[in-house]
Amino acid sequence: MDAFLAGMAILLDPYMLGVILAGTLLGIIVGALPGISGSTTTALLLPLTVTMTPGAALAFLGSIYCAANFGGSITAILINTPGDPSASATAFDGYPMAKRGEAGKALGISAISSAIGGIFSVFVLIVAAPLLARMAYEFGPPEYFGLAVFGLSMVAMIGGESQVKNLMSACLGVLLATVGLDLTTGVERFTFGVYSLSDGIEFVPVLIGLFAIAEMLEQATQHGVVQDYIRLTAVKLPTLADFRKCAKSIAISSGIGTFIGALPALGATTAAMICYNESKRWSKYKDEFGKGAIEGVAGPEAANNAAVGGAMVPTLALGIPGSTTTAIILAGLIVQGVRPGPHLFTEQPALLYIVFSSMLAANLLYLVLGLGAAKLFARLTLVPAAYLWPAVFVLSMVGAYAPNQSMSDIWTVLIFGVVGFLFRRYGFSPAPLIMGLVLGKMVEESLKQSLLIFDQNWLMFLTRPIVVGLFAVTLIGLFAPFLARAWTRTRKRWRTSPAGDLP
């Protein structure tokens, strides 16, 4: 109770309130700017949080994470260009609503649905994270190895459409995680004589390169493309009839979004896409979807914001990022000297409740700001690219150089900027690479520790029930899509075959 009261007390601290307000405003702004997502912004600003206290740093990054998802809906609705990837599904019906003069109503239901989904997930986070952490006390190195492998297997379902490419990207991330000095043997690996690589590849420059620089290069290829802008007159609150119409969609999407967010390596974009389909499945007005259905805006927006709280559950309780942005927040925890995982709940419980209360405050703030200032935020879409992206480039270089003051970090940003650009061109997603880089060290360290415990006997993994269960779920996740497609093809062949050919 003391930790809970200490965490809630930050809402009475003017400094912390200012940090949360700044993060919320920044999150809405960058969410509304096409191409600059919440993950890009948290990667860019991560070096700035080094000078903050751990509580302020987490409140700042968490507020950006919460608000960016809503900010992305502004451009998705007005110009059919999601400012954040998580708002991609919102554009399916939000833009048609705007074209027929209902932009205000679309933004209104977006703000309310986002807040409901976000607040619901925060309460789930408060309840579920401590329970999961208590379960994690039973985890040893073999269980953490199984959990990390499960997390890596989930990358097949995020990012690009090709599961094989996603797995290839994740394997590259794991390989990058092995660069540097092996603490077990003292051998340098893949450093190629570069002294600065002895400590491994820095996480923050890789993030900045893959997201900010790669997006800048991608935007450069879009030069001359003209967007069709919708004039926004006012943001209108949905009527009671509108709210009743969307209630089922919001409720279903809040629950599913929280659950999907809690699964390692998934995230808000996946949650929004799935819940758009579920909203259509359970709607009485299926024919309206794709033509301006208000449920088609409410469902994805509730889901992508609910996924934020859900993604924080494994991040805080297990040290396993639930999304790309939480991977960056996890890096922020490590930079601050905070050890994520179950020990966090006993060593620094007040810090956790600071996270909970700041996310709750951010959801309430962007609800107020979204309804009152969306017309102002919409003007951010008019910022010329000629001014926007040079500023992003300068911030990227400063953000990469500042922590270690090393030119090798600048080269890392530029190299991974090109890598990220080529990834997009050839259908690879950078998100699995980030997950591989984050989980790679855990896989290697927990595997080495497990083999020492088992005296190099690999079969001993099968004597641990939790490990066997995690391996089984991993195999199901990897092979289920292929088996489902094979079963579908077989059924089609049976149906189209003459009766005499059936087995």
**DSSP per-residue codes, 429-448:** -HHHHHHHHHHHHHHHHHHH
How far is it, in rounded angstroms, from Cα 363 to Cα 42? 17
How far is it, in rounded angstroms, from Cα 470 to Cα 232? 50
* Residues 136-186: tens digit of each pLDDT: 556 778 887 887 787 677 665 555 557 778 778 888 888 888 888 876 777
Mean pLDDT of 253-265: 76
Phi-psi region of 126 (alpha: psi -120 to 50; beta: other; left: phi over 0): alpha
C-beta separation of 98 from 230 below 8 A:
yes
* Residues 236-249: tens digit of each pLDDT: 667 788 788 888 88
How far is it, in rounded angstroms, from Cα 76 to Cα 227? 12
Helix axes 240-262, 103-136, angle to 10 degrees: 30
Tokens encoding 354: 């600071």
C-beta separation of 7 from 352 below 8 A:
yes
C-beta separation of 322 from 261 below 8 A:
yes
Residue 452 has pLDDT above 80, yes or no: yes
C-beta separation of 203 from 43 below 8 A:
no
What's the confidence (pLDDT) of residue 493?
Answer: 78
Closest CA to 284 of 274, 294, 273: 294
How far is it, in rounded angstroms, from Cα 470 to Cα 474? 6
Residue 209 DSSP one-character state = I
Share the mean pLDDT of the chain. Answer: 76
What's the confidence (pLDDT) of residue 263?
Answer: 66
Give the length of the chain: 503
> Residue 189 pairs with which residues in a beta bridge?
180
Q: Which residue has the higher pLDDT, 204 or 14?
A: 14
Residue showing tokens 């490590």: 334
Residue showing tokens 């379902």: 157
Residue 85 DSSP one-character state = G
What's the confidence (pLDDT) of residue 418?
Answer: 92
Tokens encoding 441: 């060290």
Residue 465 phi, psi dihedral angles, 5° rounding: -55, -40
Residue showing tokens 């490990």: 467
Residue 198: partners with Cβ closer than 8 Å, 6 or more residues away: 180, 181, 188, 191
Neighbours of 446 (CB within 10 A): 22
How many Å is the Cα radius of gyration of the chain? 23
pLDDT band at 502 (very low <50, low <70, confident <90, very high): very low
Tokens encoding 438: 């984050």
Residue 178 DSSP one-character state = T
Residue showing tokens 């340098």: 188
Residue 34 has pLDDT above 60, yes or no: no
